Structures are given as C-alpha cells and as structure tokens.
Amino acid sequence: MKVVLVGSGNVATHLALALHAIGNTIAQVWSRNQSHASKLADKVNAKAISNLSEADLSADFCVVSIKDDAVGEVAELLRGFKGIVVHTSGSVDIAVFAGVFERYGVLYPLQTFSIDKPVDFSNIPMCIEASDADTLNAVGQFANKLSTNVREISSEKRRVLHLAAVFACNFTNYLYTLSNDLLNENDLDFNIIRPLILETAAKVQEAYPKDVQTGPAIRNDEQTLNKHKAMLTAQPELLAIYQTLSDSIKKTKK
Amino acid sequence: MKVVLVGSGNVATHLALALHAIGNTIAQVWSRNQSHASKLADKVNAKAISNLSEADLSADFCVVSIKDDAVGEVAELLRGFKGIVVHTSGSVDIAVFAGVFERYGVLYPLQTFSIDKPVDFSNIPMCIEASDADTLNAVGQFANKLSTNVREISSEKRRVLHLAAVFACNFTNYLYTLSNDLLNENDLDFNIIRPLILETAAKVQEAYPKDVQTGPAIRNDEQTLNKHKAMLTAQPELLAIYQTLSDSIKKTKK
C-alpha cells in the first residue's frame, strides 16, 4: 500500500515505523514543522512535506495522526484525496470527514506511545470504523497486517474507550509521578517501587481490579488513613487527591 | 529456621508458602479464626493454633503479619518469645515491639498480594529494620533467602514508602476499576484495555513517569477535557476525580 502520513508525533511516528516495517510504502510525511517531518521521513524512506498542497492525492491511504482539534481543518486541506482517509484519534467523531472525502474511517490504536520506546503492534487493540462496508473491509485488512486484535468500534463507544483510557493510563501514570515525588523528597529511589507498579498491572491481566483491591481504604483501616493524611498536611494538593480517592474506594466496599 | 507465623491473610499466606518452599520449618500458624489457621497450616505442613498462649516461644523467628492496629496487642500476648520477632507492616513503627521483646525487627515486602495469585519473591524489595546490629544481620540473612532485593529502611522512611505505595498501587488499581466500570456501562469488555494497563506500567520500568506523561491534561487539550467532563455529568464522583487529577496534571506541565 502507498500511504501518506499526516503528523509526526508519538502515534504518527510509531505507526509510520510499523507500516514501513511490514512493507507499505510511506510516500510522504507531513508536519507543520519541516524538520519534524524530515526526521520521521528519513526513518521510513519517505519524502518530507510541510505544505499539504503537495500531498499525493493518489495514494491508497492517508493516515491523519495529529492533535484532535486540528483534524477537521487539515481534512479540508486534503480535499480531493482519492484513497481512504483515516484518523487515529480516540475522541474525534468519524463525521469530521463526512462531506469532505468519499471513503474515510478511523484507525485508533488503543495504546500509550512514547517517541523513544519501541512498540510491538501485534497485540494492540486497533479500533476501526468506516464510512461504508467496503471501506470498513479495506481498513480492516490494513489494520490486520499491524495487529491480530482489530475491533469495529463506533465513534460513540470509541469516545468512552478514550475516557476509560485516561483513567487507566494517563491518571495512573500521574499517580506514579506523585509516588516518585514522595520518594524523592525522602531520599528514596523510584527503583524500589517499580516491581510493585508492574505487579499491580500484571494482576489485572487475569483478574478484575475490583476483586484485587488492597490498601487501607478498602480495609476501612482508619488508623493508617489518618497517619497518611497527617503526613500530607503540608501538601494540600496531594492530600486532596488522597482524600478523594480514599473516600471513593471506601464506598465500593463490598 | 523454625518459624511461628502469626496471621493468615494475603501477606502471611504468601510469606508462609515462600518460607516453606525454601526449606524453613513453619512450626505453627496462628489465626483468630481456627479454620483460616488450619487452611494455611495444611499448605505448609504446620500446626494450626487459634490461641497465642499455645505459641512455641522457642522458635527462631516469629513473623507477625496481621492488621496494623492489632500488632501491639498481639505482641503483648507473645511476650517471652526467645527468638526474633518481626512484623511485616508498612506503617507500624518498629517501636511497637520495644520493651516487649529482646530481639525484634521489621520485614516489609513491598508488593501487592492476592490470595490466589502465586508470587515470585526473588525480586520483591524486602525492607528490613532491627532492634540492634546483630538482629539486623540475622533478619537480613533470613530475608536474603527470599529475595535478592533486601534493603535496610528506617521506620520513618518505611512510612513514606507505604504512602507512596498507596498512590502507585492501591489508587492505581482503583482507577482500573473506574475504567472497567465505564467500559461495562457501555457494553465494552475490560479485555480491550488490559494491554494499555500493562504497557503503562512497563513504560516506567525504565523511564520516569514525569517524562512519559500523555493524555489531554498534559497537552492542555481543553476541547477533549471538556468533552470528557460532559460525558461524566451524570456521575459526580467520577467527574470530581477527573477534575482533581486533570487540574493537578496541568500544573506539572513543563
């Protein structure tokens, strides 16, 4: 397949590398910033462009992987694209492309990407959606070459999925940060807590999180909860997070 | 070593299994509830007792692995124990044993345990502390047979560690639960988000969480934040958690 890639961020980069690795031709990489486009284009043997008027409208796929609020505006600049246009966003409705392209869809990889960490796509859930049955079929085949875990998900459900991912990934990572800060302030190394973090995630690969909740809040261990709150009095923001989450956990008690 | 085990919960169970597996003799298992004591005792070839007056005071180690607020009271009932008494709690000061025993300490495994999931102790950070240098040495040797990751940690730092663990493990697992609830309410399967959860934890095994934070809050993507908040209006508790954590993440923006 001949692919035009619009974007050069975390998702765009890893998708480009994976699509290139399985034999697709990345014809062009666009980024508003020419040096970003060049950096990624060089890795996948593509041409870097920074003006969408240069986009090759005859490619098979155009993958739009940019900030959510820019998708609509960029689509207008790609008007006339003859192949299938997909975006990769969790929370942008497929309707953003309606009336702009004939064949379009969504290819949302439900995973967290960082520029420097290699990604194995084979098990990543690829949530797909398309303008029509034929296009859905084509997007499905395209996604299937990347992952064995392809699912048709409507825009409405994809929005829920994205929100659930914010809780399970973004907020979780932030709690790791708060934990790291607490350790650093007390000359303790983050290394000491890394095995716990990994096991916490590993546990729910088989079990449901509700069934493996541990800690003072679920035990209603007021003595420990009070000790912890006393330790956080000088950090009102941390204290508020501790209180909010502990109170909420207590309510789930079976 | 001959060990008396006081407790039959998650930590007590996994410690007993691990201590037994590496060749220690678990002489007795105590639990207030005789059937709990018997269930664990059977697994490690020990005698179940439900009255601490029956405890074998001549054993080498007594491992007290019970609810935090019961440690002091149970210690009184073990007065006269000739070997080394350790508790396994994250937030109970070593001083709880002062004046009760001659040789005592702490053996805190920094990990999350569930009854049914087998545990590999070899990499679990074992935080130790003791009444004196000789006892520290003995507790260290005892811990070293379980794990290659043994560290001397004061009661004060252990308290911080425990608090950091609440953020990194207990609160994190609760966010998985909220995520699972959101999915279920919309007929989506928790399976779809499991790879994301695992990768989120895997990412910070090498990196620091602050350097790999993703999501709408860190990007200051107000459009997506507002969409998410609109989706949560019927769930004020979830909305409060979303708001509290997102606001806090925004403040960390570099």
Residue A43 touches chain B, beta carbons under 8 Å? no
- Half-sphere exposure of residue A154: CA atoms within 13 angstroms, side-chain side: 5
β-bridge mates for residue B48, sequence order: B29
Residue A157 touches chain B, beta carbons under 8 Å? yes
Residue B122 touches chain A, beta carbons under 8 Å? no
Under an 8 A CB cutoff, do A113 and B214 touch? Answer: yes
Portion of chain A with pLDDT greater than 70, in percent: 99
Angle between helices B34-43 and B10-21 (to 10 degrees): 30
Res. B178 pLDDT band, cuts 50 70 90: very high
The residues, any chain, with a CB within 8 Å of residue B96's CB and separated by 6 or more, are B71, B72, B75, B87
What are the structure tokens assigned to B60, written together? Answer: 């080498």
Distance CA B158, CA B164 (A): 10
With tokens 């940060």, the residue in question is A177
pLDDT tens track for A132-162? 999 999 999 999 999 999 999 999 999 999 9
Region A170-181: mean pLDDT is 98
Give the best residue of A204, A218, A220, A227 to mutate against chain B (max B CB count within 10 A): A204
The alpha-carbon gap from B38 to the nearest alpha carbon of chain A, in Å, equals 23
The alpha-carbon gap from B128 to the nearest alpha carbon of chain A, in Å, equals 13
Which one, of B114, B112, B144, B113, lies nearest residue B126 by Cα? B144
For the cut 70, the answer to whether the pLDDT of residue B254 exceeds it is no
pLDDT tens track for A4-17? 999 999 999 999 99
ipTM of the complex: 0.93
Under an 8 A CB cutoff, do B244 and A241 touch? Answer: yes
For the cut 90, the answer to whether the pLDDT of residue B118 exceeds it is no
Mean pLDDT, chain B, as a whole number?
95
B189 → chain A, closest CA residue = A161
What are the structure tokens assigned to A162, written together? Answer: 């994205």
Distance CA B7, CA B205 (A): 32
Mean pLDDT, chain A, as a whole number?
95
For the cut 70, the answer to whether the pLDDT of residue B253 exceeds it is no
Give the best residue of B157, B173, B180, B210 to mutate against chain A (max A CB count within 10 A): B173
Provide, as residue numbers in chain A, all residues whose Cβ is less than 8 Å from the Cβ of B176.
167-168, 172, 204, 209
Give the pLDDT of residue A116: 81
Give the pLDDT of residue A254: 54
What are the structure tokens assigned to A170, written together? Answer: 């973004």
Q: Mind giving me the DSSP string for B117-155?
A: S---GGGS-EEEEESSHHHHHHHHHHHHTT-S-EEE--H
For the cut 70, the answer to whether the pLDDT of residue A253 exceeds it is no
pLDDT tens track for B30-54? 999 999 999 999 999 999 999 999 9
pLDDT tens track for B130-171? 999 999 999 999 999 999 999 999 999 999 999 999 999 999
Q: What is the DSSP letter of A87?
A: E
- Residue by residue, what is the 3-state secondary structure of chain A? CEEEEECCCHHHHHHHHHHHHCCCEEEEEECCCHHHHHHHHHHCCCEEECCHHHCCCCCCEEEECCCHHHHHHHHHHCCCCCCEEEECCCCCCHHHHCCCCCEEEEEEECCCCCCCCCCCHHHCCEEEEECCHHHHHHHHHHHHCCCCCEEECCHHHHHHHHHHHHHHHHHHHHHHHHHHHHHHHCCCCHHHHHHHHHHHHHHCCCCCHHHHCCCCCCCCCHHHHHHHHHHCCCCHHHHHHHHHHHHHHHHHCC
Under an 8 A CB cutoff, do B221 and A67 touch? Answer: yes
Provide, as residue numbers in chain B, all residues whose Cβ is less than 8 Å from the Cβ of A244.
240-241, 244
Type of residue found at A89 = S
Give the pLDDT of residue A118: 86
Q: What is the DSSP letter of B98?
A: B
